[in-house]
């Protein structure tokens, strides 16, 4: 009897220990509205090389999905809005599950099927098909013994909320909350699924730039924003948006639902009236998003709750219509090089990144570096690194002195600044160093941005999580000796 009880307790504690070290995850959205994109096979290679473990695909193209066979990359696939009417019966869904999905699952990790994207706000004429399609597909997955492996949900924009500020006022639009949202939320709970939201602080800032500070949208506020309903201070617009979603879910009786940020990001280029759409702000936003996820900070409403988020997007999509920013959300160029440094593996020290400070540090060539190593670093910075090397071309302000040391210093610093002043971006095979002395001279001005204090505004929980796990193991040891 004692043994049985001990084993039961041991299993419980081990499960708790395992859960305590599981954290949030970052994925990327893989949109394909472009005429110059790499093949899906090359995309799979890029994703593996860049340690990307999750991708979201906006259809269920079998050729695209099968390109990820044999990798550890988990996929979210999508039933496009215009196809929802084809999934209204069990027979239709069964046919798709058995002939499309099931064969793919033999070699590809598929974790979720998104039934439509922002249907109620983008294509409301299809909204009547969303829930029946979700139910039919989940039933088909159940019959195929895939329901425990693959979840079913649908992605909504922040536009489904009637109010999102202050976060505690979060509520779904009156026009849709009873007839549309409530049945979907009830079903998500019934099948153990998640709520998906596409949240874009960039769009919120562009719509209300008179009321929203740019640094707040970029996770680096000079002043905190208070929620008058809860007296909670917010340090980023994204966490405020998420808490508005949590409050809205709670108001509908579904505070138990987890939330996936199925799209978020920042564009690298825009029209003349979109000056905040630039490489610097994109690097700042996405690196700070990564730290928020990697630190398992959660939000003020749900502190410490792991967050799963998908960055939009892998590549620019030149066939999209609308403003210039719509075509320039990509993190990687079509050859697989990044437009800016992105700390996907969490190697930074946890300090928020910013391109908008007034300068404190620069990255320059090391006096001890050989010309060979400086030449290699210079070629990388001006090539794959996408540094601004125009000023060191003949006739421009930083061309003289014409030396590897001088040219490499300027190129290294350009790459470093574009990478958010992250120390990991100032290495170049050991030929670079960080300095607090401004290397500018004459008309040659080295751009600079201030490094922020080393404290993490989010408050890292990694130490606490490890401590909790260690504590559980310690309890297990005590139980063993007690018995």
Residue positions annotated with a catalytic role: 118, 263
Tokens standing for residue 437:
């002395």
The number of beta carbons lying within 10 Å of the beta carbon of residue 231 is 8
Q: Report d(CA 330, CA 50) in Å as an integer.
A: 14
Work out the number of other CB atoms within 10 angstroms of the CB of residue 172. 22
Whose tokens are 């790499």? That residue is: 38
Tokens for 282, please give them. 């994109």
The kind and range of the H/E element at 411 are: helix 404-418
Count CB atoms within 10 A of the CB of residue 370: 11
DSSP state of 99: I
CA-to-CA distance for 244 and 171, rounded, in angstroms? 7
Q: Work out the burial of residue 207: count CB atoms within 10 Å of its CB; fewer than 13 is exposed, 13-18 middle, 19 or more buried.
A: exposed
The DSSP-derived string for 277-309 is -SHHHHHHHHHHHHHHHHTT-B-SSSBT---EE
Contacts of 119 (CB under 8 A, 6+ apart): 81, 84, 126, 127, 130, 154
**Encoded tokens for 26:** 């970052």
* Rounded CA separation 438/440 (Å): 6
Dist CA 47 CA 44 (whole Å): 5
- For residue 166, cis peptide bond before it (omega within 30 degrees of 0): yes
Sequence-distant (≥ 6) Cβ neighbours of residue 403 within 8 angstroms: none
Are the C-beta atoms of residues 56 and 76 closer than 8 Å to each other? yes
Q: Give the torsion through C-alpha atoms of 470, 476, 482, 483, to 10 deg.
A: -160
Query: CA-CA distance, 335 to 347, in Å (whole number)?
Result: 24
Give the strand pairing for 259-264 and 432-435. unpaired
d(CA 311, CA 401): 41
């Amino acid at each position: 009897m004692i043994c049985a009880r001990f084993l039961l307790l041991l299993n419980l504690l081990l499960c708790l220990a395992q859960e305590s070290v599981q954290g949030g995850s970052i994925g990327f959205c893989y949109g394909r509205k472009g005429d110059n994109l790499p093949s899906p096979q090359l995309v799979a290679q890029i994703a593996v090389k860049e340690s990307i473990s999750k991708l979201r695909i906006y259809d269920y193209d079998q050729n695209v999905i099968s390109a990820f066979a044999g990798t550890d990359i988990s996929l979210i696939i999508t039933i496009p809005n215009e196809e929802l009417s084809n999934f209204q019966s069990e027979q239709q869904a069964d046919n798709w599950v058995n002939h499309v999905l099931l064969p793919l699952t033999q070699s590809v990790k598929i974790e979720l099927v998104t039934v439509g994207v922002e249907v109620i706000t983008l294509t409301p004429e299809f909204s009547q098909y969303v829930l029946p399609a979700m139910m039919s597909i989940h039933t088909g997955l159940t019959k195929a013994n895939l329901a425990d492996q693959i979840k079913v949900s649908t992605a909504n924009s922040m536009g489904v909320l009637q109010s999102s500020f202050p976060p505690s006022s979060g509520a779904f639009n009156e026009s849709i909350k009873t007839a549309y949202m409530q049945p979907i939320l009830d079903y998500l709970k019934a099948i153990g699924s998640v709520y998906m939201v596409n949240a874009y602080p960039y769009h919120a800032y562009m719509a209300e730039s008179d009321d929203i500070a740019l640094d707040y949208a970029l996770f680096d506020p000079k002043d905190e924003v208070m929620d008058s309903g809860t007296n909670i201070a917010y340090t980023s617009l994204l966490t405020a948006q998420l808490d508005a979603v949590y409050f809205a879910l709670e108001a509908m009786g579904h505070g138990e639902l987890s939330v996936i940020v199925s799209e978020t990001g920042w564009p690298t280029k825009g029209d003349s009236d979109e000056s905040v759409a630039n490489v610097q702000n994109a690097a700042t936003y996405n690196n700070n998003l990564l730290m928020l996820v990697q630190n398992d900070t959660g939000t003020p409403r749900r502190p410490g709750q792991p967050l799963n988020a998908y960055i939009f997007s892998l590549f620019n999509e030149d066939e999209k219509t609308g403003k210039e920013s719509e075509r320039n959300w990509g993190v990687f160029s079509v050859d697989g090089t990044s437009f800016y440094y992105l700390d996907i593996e969490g190697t930074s020290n946890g300090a928020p990144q910013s391109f908008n400070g007034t300068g404190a540090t620069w990255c320059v060539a090391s006096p001890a570096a050989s010309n060979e190593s400086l030449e290699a670093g210079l070629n990388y910075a001006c090539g794959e690194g996408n540094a601004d090397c125009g000023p060191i071309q003949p006739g421009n302000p930083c061309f003289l002195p014409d030396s590897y040391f001088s040219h490499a210093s300027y190129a290294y610093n350009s790459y470093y600044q574009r990478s958010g002043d992250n120390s990991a971006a100032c290495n170049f095979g050991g030929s670079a160093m960080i300095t607090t002395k401004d290397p500018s001279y004459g008309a040659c001005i080295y751009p600079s941005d201030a490094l922020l204090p080393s404290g993490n505004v989010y408050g890292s929980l990694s130490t606490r999580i490890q401590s909790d796990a260690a504590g559980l193991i310690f309890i297990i040891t005590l139980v063993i000796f007690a018995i």
